[in-house]
Every structure is written in C-alpha cells, then in structure tokens.
Amino acid sequence: MRTERQLLVGSLRKEMNMKKRTLLRTIKKEKEVILQATTEANNKEEIIRLLEEQKTSLAIAFEKCVSTTAGSIDTLKQILLETLDAHHNTSQSMEQLQLTLIQTTEQEVQKLILKNEEILKSTSTETNAINQLQNTLVQKIEDSSTAKKHNDEATLNRLFAEQQQALTDAVVQQQQQALSLDLIKQTMIDVIKDQQLLPVNITNNMKTPQQSNDDTITNILGQHTSMNSNTIDNNHVHSLSRKKSIQYSRIYNQSLSKAALKKSPDQHFFKVSIKSPEPAHVFTKLVIGGTEYSRRLYTLCQRDVIQKDVLNFYFAPPAKDGPYEITIYAKTNKETIYRAAICIRLPGSNISQSVPFPIVYPSFEEHQCILIEPFQGLLRQNEQVLIHMIVPGAHSVKVQNGDDNIELDVDEYKEQVVKKKIRVRGHVHIIGCWEKKTDATICVFKMIC
C-alpha cells in the first residue's frame, strides 16, 4: 500500500511539473511575442490585446491544473481507502488463523500429556518390579556368598591345621634325630607331598606354623653359612589340587609349582617366588590382625627379570605386630575371575619402619612391566635416583619429574630397558605410550621433604 501511494504521488508530481514547465514555456513564448509585437508595432492596443489573451490563457491553464490536481487527490484517497480495507480484512484472517493454531496446539499438548502420564505409570510399575527382582537377586547372592565364605574359611582352617601339625611333627622329629639340613628339607618335602595326596574340596593353601615353630626353622637354617639368612627354600613346596571345578589348578602344576619365602636383608619387605607353567594374572591381599591393607602400597607383583616362568611377590607390611596373612589370587588368560591360589601365614617380624612400594597402574600389569629400582615408593626431594625398569613394547617412555616432562632418548630407553638418572623435583610419574598413541601412567613415586 505504501509503495502504491508513493508511486501515485510521484506520478502526480511529475505531471504537475510537466504542466508547470509547459506553462512557463508558454509564458516565455507569449512574452517574446508581446515584446516582439511591442517592438514592431509599438501599439498599445495590440499590447493590451495580447495581455488579455495571455491572462485568459493563464486562467484556463490554472483551472486545468486545479482540476487535474483535485482529480489526482481524489484518486489517491480512493486507493488509500481500498488498501486500508484490504489490510483490515487480512488482519482479521490472520487473527482467525492464529486462534485456530493455538487451539490445535493446546489439543495436541493435552494428548501428549495424557500419553506421557500413561507411559510414566507403566514405567514406574516396571521399575518397581525390576527393583524387587534386583533386591531378591542381591539377597540371594549375598546369602550364597556368605555360605561359600563360611565353607571356604572352615576348609582353609582345617587345611592350615593339618599342614601346621604335619610340619610341626616333621620339625620335632628331625630335631630329635639331629639330622643334617638336607635330610630336614627332604623330610618336609615328603610330608607336604603326602598332604597333597589327600582328597580336598578346594585348592590346597600353604600356612606356616606358629611363631615358635618358624623361629625354630629359621634358627636351624641360619646355622649353615651356605644358605641365605632367614630363608626357607624348598622347605615349603606347595601345589594346587586338580579339582575340575576349580579352574586355577591349571596355573600351578603339581610337579612344577615351587614357592620360596625370603625376607630382604634390609628387613623392609618379604619376597615370595612362584613358578608357573603358563602365563597368569595375579594380585595379592595383605591382612594383619583382621585388617586388610592397601595392596597398591604394601604389595608388588611382577615377573622375574631372568626366569620368565617365575612370578615374584613383594610384601612391605606396615610397622605392626604380626602375624601377617598373605593371600595370592590368580587367573589364566582363559579365565574371567580371580581365585585364591596360595595363603601364607607369617609370624611377626622386627620391622622398624614401613617403606611402601611405588603405586602401580593397570598398564604396569597389562604390559608385564618389571621394576628393578628403586623399590621404595617415597623419594626425598633433591635426591638423585636411578630409574631402572623393563617396559616391553612401548613406542616411547616419559618421566614426569614434578613440573618437568622428560621424554627418554634412545640411550635411556633401549631394548625395552629404562635407565634414567634424575634429581627428584616432585612426584615422579613413569609414563608409556603403546599402540593407541595415548600416554598411560605405569607407576608413580611420591616425593617427601
């Protein structure tokens, strides 16, 4: 409507300008005629006549202009009125359409609300049923676990008592006969092998005698300089029974399994070595006085550096009175759950302080890494240490020393062996990068002041 009005006003102005120009040209021409007539004729009458004619023509032109302008204004008014009427009708149609859309939307929303309420009621009913089923399953699992735990504990206690009595009898008998150390070893091996032939319902677990008997064995062995101090080697030969329902019997073959218990000369940790005929995933649990301690701080499991089929277990118990109960759990690559493989009960020792191990991460066990040194997980600030370990198959290895991030060169990480001397500036993170091209933390040493 605005555009039409502008076009109409523009056309009206253009027409009036044309008429004005025409009128001006006419006036100029008439002036020229008058001047020419005045000059030529110099006659008053002729001039008056010309003026009268000019006046008449001007009056006629003015009347025509006024008539044309009035007609244009009337036409413009008519167009404006028609445009306003059309706009008013369109507005009414839009309001009606908007009202219809609002009503339709409200109806659809009401339907959706009713449908959602029905779905919510149905979902609530299903959720209640699922919760009841879950509670029932959890209760059944707890009951089954409790019953199995009681049965396992009773069986383990019985086996511990049998092995303890057999070992005690063997030691007393050998002491009375004053036999040599080799004969003592052989007798104890025969006694434990006899125990293995007894029918059992779960895996045989090794348990040493009470503290007095352990001290007796240690004193006898300590009299021989050819043997390591505080070491029992081949005295405790432990094999797992071959019961079909217990899968981890495949890990430790009866004829190949061998366990050795050693205490480090610095009195900070114990070491247990087990020979396994096939690769196994293992972890340990340390219990002192009925309290389970963090295996990430006080235990370390890894392959032997030289013998690939030997697994080494290190225990650094806190400075607490014993006895220490150590349980080793294992599973093969074909198994999905860990099972208790060996349980060892050690007497209390004169450990003056606790030196926890470095904190190892899943990539340490996943890639079969081996820590050689340092074994202590706490490093002093500004201390100079050598990081020596085996990291198989990594594309690169980094050492994060506080805020410093150091990528090892070909001399520091060569043939899967890491050797890097650092001065401790903060917590030390050993980081490896394998096939996924992402960094994975292997182990962490904490800094102390």
pLDDT in tens, 59-68: 888 888 888 8
Task: Give every CB contact of residue 9 below 8 A, 6+ residues apart in sequence.
Answer: 76
Q: Based on the domain organization, do 337 and 431 belong to the same domain?
A: no
Q: Based on the domain organization, do 394 and 430 belong to the same domain?
A: yes
Residue 1 lies in a domain: yes
What mean pLDDT comes out for the span 221-247?
31
Task: Give every CB contact of residue 320 below 8 A, 6+ residues apart in sequence.
Answer: 288, 289
Q: Based on the domain organization, do 53 and 89 belong to the same domain?
A: yes
Q: Based on the domain organization, do 99 and 6 belong to the same domain?
A: yes
Closest CA to 214 of 231, 228, 226: 231
Residues 335, 420: Cα–Cα separation, whole Å: 37
pLDDT at 300 over 50: yes
Q: Cβ of 66: how many Cβ atoms within 10 Å?
A: 10
Q: Based on the domain organization, do 221 and 313 belong to the same domain?
A: yes
Residues 208, 263: Cα–Cα separation, whole Å: 15
Look at 26-30, 235-239, 382-386, 423-427 and tell me which has the smallest mean pLDDT: 235-239
Q: Based on the domain organization, do 141 and 231 belong to the same domain?
A: no
Residue 160 lies in a domain: no
Q: Based on the domain organization, do 144 and 200 belong to the same domain?
A: no
Of 112, 132, 151, which residue sits at a domain end? 151
Q: What pLDDT, on the 0 to 100 scale, is given for residue 370?
A: 94
What mean pLDDT comes out for the span 150-170?
66
Q: What pLDDT, on the 0 to 100 scale, is given for residue 407?
A: 92
What mean pLDDT comes out for the span 313-333?
84
Tell me which residue range forms the domain holding 336.
Answer: 179-354
Closest CA to 206 of 269, 276, 156: 156
Q: Based on the domain organization, do 270 and 315 belong to the same domain?
A: yes
pLDDT at 102 over 80: yes
**Percentage of the residues of the chain whose pLDDT score is greater than 90:** 15
Residue 417: which H helix or E strand, with range? Answer: strand 417-423
Q: SS3 for 414?
A: strand
Q: Based on the domain organization, do 332 and 399 belong to the same domain?
A: no
**Range with the largest mean pLDDT of 92-101, 295-304, 418-427:** 418-427
Q: Based on the domain organization, do 293 and 216 belong to the same domain?
A: yes
Sign for the CA dihedral angle at 67, 68, 70, 74 comes to positive
Beta-strand pair 231-232/259-263: antiparallel
Burial class (CB in 10 A: 0-12, 13-18, 19+), 284: buried
pLDDT at 382 over 70: yes
Closest CA to 344 of 249, 270, 255, 256: 270
Q: What pLDDT, on the 0 to 100 scale, is given for residue 121?
A: 81
Q: Based on the domain organization, do 401 and 279 belong to the same domain?
A: no
Residue 143: which H helix or E strand, with range? Answer: helix 44-177
pLDDT at 287 over 80: yes
Q: What's the whole-number average pLDDT of the chain?
A: 74
Residues 131, 137: Cα–Cα separation, whole Å: 10
Residue 42 lies in a domain: yes
Beta strands in 246-383 (DSSP E): 259-263, 270-275, 280-288, 291-293, 299-303, 310-315, 324-332, 339-346, 359-360, 370-373, 378-380
Sign for the CA dihedral angle at 264, 318, 293, 202 comes to positive
**Range with the largest mean pLDDT of 26-40, 117-131, 197-211:** 117-131
Q: What pLDDT, on the 0 to 100 scale, is given for residue 74?
A: 83
Q: What pLDDT, on the 0 to 100 scale, is given for residue 351?
A: 61
Residues 13, 20: Cα–Cα separation, whole Å: 10
Residue 195 lies in a domain: yes
Q: Which tokens is 219 given?
A: 């004193």
Q: Based on the domain organization, do 379 and 261 belong to the same domain?
A: no
Q: SS3 for 348?
A: coil
Q: Cβ of 282: how many Cβ atoms within 10 Å?
A: 20
Look at 143-152, 191-200, 371-380 and tell me which has the smallest mean pLDDT: 191-200
Verdict on whether the full-model pTM lies above 0.85: no
Residue 158 lies in a domain: no
- Count how many domains the chain has: 3
Q: Which amino acid is at 292?
A: E
Residue 388 lies in a domain: yes
Residue 393 belongs to domain with CATH number: 2.60.40.10
**Percentage of the residues of the chain whose pLDDT score is greater than 70:** 71
Q: Which tokens is 367 given?
A: 């890639």
**Range with the largest mean pLDDT of 168-172, 235-239, 297-301, 405-409:** 405-409
Residue 166 lies in a domain: no
- Token look-up 């191990």 returns 357
Q: Which residues sit opposite 406 in a β-bridge? A: 399
Task: Give every CB contact of residue 262 below 8 A, 6+ residues apart in sequence.
Answer: 228, 230, 231, 232, 233, 270, 271, 272, 273
